[in-house]
Amino acid sequence: MRVLLVENGILAPTDVSGSESKELEDARNALKAAENGLNDNKNILNERAEDLAKDYGADDIFRALRGQCVSKDSGEYTYELCWLEQTKQISKKNHGQTTMGKFASIDTIMVDDELPADGKGLGSGQRVALRYENGQHCWNGPNRSTLVVLACAEKDEVWKVTEEEKCVYRMEVGTPAVCNVLEKKAETPRDEL
């Protein structure tokens, strides 16, 4: 009866024990592998599409800096800026790390600072600023946040870190990434030099 049904295409040709033929098993495994590969590629495609939709500043300039970090010792902490990722406060005593914000957005702000003789400062005019928000919660205060204000410099360097109010930090940072962005247009003491 079974043979008859198989011959007429009504039953699949499995053997009597019910186990699949080697060919069918191989084909099933190959299909599974192809499906896994397709899913992996779909995930990569989604990640790339999300990344392309993000704002990396004029000419996507900050994309190249992502993942790199610069740091500066100040008081009892080492402060670390990881471009487009997070800012951190690292205790010199116990090496405990506190997140001072995760990268949130790119902005422009006005500054009016005297430029130090060594040129390592913001000067005055419009500057690119990176906002880092929602860092580690501050006891009796907000979640920590950092405003990273940028000025043109030959190399990436944290110049100054201040805590403007409790758990609200400001970093002044030099980087070649903004040299062609705003400062060319702005009237700054730097242009006069």
Q: Which residues bind ligand MAN (CB under 6 A)?
A: 89, 98, 138-139, 163, 166-167
CB of 167 to ligand MAN, least distance (A): 5
Q: Which residues pair with 74 in a beta bridge?
A: 77
> Which two three-digit tokens encode residue 10?
């009504």
CB of 98 to ligand MAN, least distance (A): 5
Residue (57 or 142) nearer to ligand MAN, CB? 142
Residue (124 or 134) nearer to ligand MAN, CB? 134
Element (H, E) at 174: strand 168-175
Element (H, E) at 50: helix 22-53
Residue (8 or 140) nearer to ligand MAN, CB? 140
Question: How far apart, in whole angstroms, are the C-alpha atoms of residue 122 and residue 90?
Answer: 25
Residue (87 or 89) nearer to ligand MAN, CB? 89
Written as one string, the DSSP assignment of 64-104 is GGTT-EEEEEETTEEEEEETTTEEEEEETTT--EEEEEEEE
> Which two three-digit tokens encode residue 61?
């300039």
Which of 116, 104, 102 lies closest to 174 in space, CA to CA?
A: 116
Torsional class of 101: left (φ above 0), alpha (ψ -120 to 50), beta (otherwise): left
Residue (89 or 175) nearer to ligand MAN, CB? 89
CB of 183 to ligand MAN, least distance (A): 30
CB of 162 to ligand MAN, least distance (A): 10
CB of 139 to ligand MAN, least distance (A): 5
